[in-house]
Each structure stands twice: as structure tokens, then as C-alpha cells.
Structure 1
């Protein structure tokens, strides 16, 4: 494994991506960044008194008007009325610049696209697996509710990155967790990194 290794995990809601990201970070002895990015971005924006739900709600905002996609090349071009994405991107870049880390979501794969030490993975699963997981891990939600969350993520990602969420060309590897344990998925990811850039 390289001295500096940045891993981004994008995932379908209900596929187990969060668990995989946390296991990866634990195995590598680094931090896993997910919602912490939101809090750090809110802090930089001076919104320290905003409650958690408000921060989460603002994190996925996109303009109501359709004015096209925003590219990660030129973060300053992101509209002022939604500073959250811009601040999250800055936080991600700052953390990645300091050393190894695992990022879960937050468009980190697009933000760090040009980083030679970054490896990006997309975790997904079939409907039957996610339907069952929705019952056991998400407070008995329905698959329809999970898909609604996926649509929100997709719309946000597509708008701000100018890329298509879940498009295989954006990732090093796509992993179907339907018949793969989180531990096996972690081994697959680490094995890929070792094989791609043996040191």
C-alpha cells in the first residue's frame, strides 16, 4: 500500500457502503469522513448554531432553476446561494492534502478526481438485497423510500460535478454487495489498490 492512500466510496442507499467505508478506514488506521465534512463546512461558513437537520437538509440543495451543470474545475463558479457544496469541496481537498483518508459520498470522487493518490469505488446492490436491508438497517423503510434518497443524491451529484452518478467511467471499480460480505468487499478494494499500484 502506498504511503498516502485516499479512498472514496460512493454508494446506493441500502447497499452497505457506509459499513464498508468504516471497515476500510479501520483496517488502514485512518479516519472515515462522512457527515463530519458537513459540520466542518458549516463551521467555515459561520453556521455553528445551525441544528444537525438543517445542515443535512442544506447539504443536498440544488437550484430550483435549471441552469446546467457545475464542474469541479473552478469551485468558485458554484453559485453563492449554495455555498455548502463549495465549502465541502474545500474541506475534502484540505483533508486529502494532509494524508490518507476514506471519504464516503459528498462527491469526493469528483472533487479528488485529479489526485494521483485517490481511488474511487461505487458500491451497489440488487433490489432484493436492499429491500431486506431497508427493513433490518433503516427502521423498516421501504425500497421506494431508499430509491427516493438515491434520486436526491443522483440529482445533487449530477448537478455539481457535471458527471453522472453511478456511471462506471467515474470509478476505479464498481462492487455489487448483494452476495458479498462487507469484509470481502474491503479485501477486494484493498486488493485492487495493491494490484493497480504495487509498491
Structure 2
């Protein structure tokens, strides 16, 4: 497959991370999740440990200024926005590389929305499916705990993008993993991209 940039946004506990990993193997490329935070933290040179940067990566400041679409606007952002800004720079820079890449979260669908080689997907699932995965895959997390983390991501996304989290108009396709395997979901994404390019 020619160079392809895929963004995966996902409801917490829906299997989106695993789908990104499956796509990484199928496309023989890299996927970027917390790696984006690590790269951004390294660029900031502010003494914050990688673990602390990751822990704070979904924090949203109370106010922001500037235009996120242009590098000139980055410097006008308030201090608390520096991590988001640096993550956006990392995503834009990775997208310029000649190889395919998969981006998991981090508002990548919004940051890369004007590129023609980007396909964006939203992965979601029903509560029963997520509750079961919480027990098996997330160290026994309850649905309430999953929803708490989900809400943090929703607030982060909506704060920085001005878009509604999970709005179908923001994505090429939304996939409900409740009734299909994650392998099937990954294959569906690849089939959709191939169809669009045929």
C-alpha cells in the first residue's frame, strides 16, 4: 500500500489500541501513542520526566490563545498548552516522513485533517463489551472507571479541537467492536482505504 496515515480515536475500553497495533503489523509501519508524548517532552527540555509528561498529557488548561494550524501561532499559546503544542508539532513532522504511520489519539485526526493521505477512524463499543474488557484487559477496571478516563479524553479533545468527541463527521468511518473481532475491525479499515484509492 502507498504511504498511508491513519488516525485512530477510540472510546476507552473499545479495543482501539489493539487495532492500531494490528494495523502496525499489517502495514509494517510505526504507530505513535505515548511515543508522541515522549518526543514532545524531549523537545521541551523542561526537566519533566517522561512518566510525568505522560501522566499529564490529557490535562487541559483553562484558556488558550492562538491558531493551532500554523507554527507562528504556537508561540502565542499560554504556558499550560506547551505540551499539546509540542505534540502537534511532532505529529505534523512525523506525517511529513515518506513512510506510513498510525496515530492513536492525541487529536491527530484534527491536526492532520487537511492532508489528503490521512484516513481517520473512531472505534467504539457498547457498555457490556467495555465492562468485560475492563475486567480482562484493564486490571479489573469498572465501567465507571472506564467512563471517567473516557470523559478526560473527551474534554481534552473538545478543548483543543473545538469539535465534538465521537462526531461521525470528524471521521471517515466509525466502527463498533462489540460484535466483531478486532482483527476484523483492522481488516475493515484496510479494505476501506483500498476501496477509496481504487
Q: CA deviation at 1:82?
A: 2.1
Q: 1:61 aligns with which of 59, 62, 66?
A: 59
User: Partner of 1:41 in structure 2?
Assistant: 40
Q: Deviations over 1:91-124 (max 9, x none)?
A: 0010010031001001100000001100000000
The residue aligned with 1:92 is 91
Aligned length: 194
Query: Does the 8 Å contact 1:8/1:119 carry over to 2?
Result: yes
Q: 1:53 to 1:12 in 2, by over 3 A?
A: same
Q: Does 1:161 align with 2:161?
A: yes
Contact 1:69 1:161 in 2 (8 A): no
* Offset, 1:175: 0.1
Question: Helix, strand or coil: the match of 1:121?
Answer: strand
User: 1:39-88 CA distances to partner (integer Å, 9 max, x unpaired)?
Assistant: 000000004x5334311232112123xx4797643452532332000000
Mark the CA change 1:165 to 1:72 in structure 2 (over 3 Å): closer, same or farther. Answer: farther
Matched residue SS, 2:140: coil
Equivalent in the alignment of 1:142: 142
Contact 2:15 2:177 (8 Å CA) reproduced: yes
Cα separation, 2, equivalents of 1:128 and 1:81: 37
Are residues 44 and 68 of structure 1, via their aligned partners in 2, closer, same or farther at CA, if it must alter by over 3 Å? Answer: closer
Query: How far apart, in 2, do the equivalents of 1:168 and 1:70 lie?
Result: 27
TM-score normalised by L of structure 2: 0.92
Structure 2: runs of 5 or more not aligned: none
Unaligned runs of 5+ in 1: none
Could you tell me the TM-score, scaled by structure 1's length? Answer: 0.92
Match for 1:73 among 69, 87, 90?
69
Matches of 1:169 and 1:154 in 2, distance apart?
16
- Answer 1 or 2: higher relative contact order, Cα 8 Å, separation at least 6: 1
Aligned 1:1-199 pairs, distance under 5 A: 1=1, 3-47=2-46, 49-64=47-62, 67=63, 72-74=68-70, 75-76=73-74, 77-98=76-97, 99-198=99-198
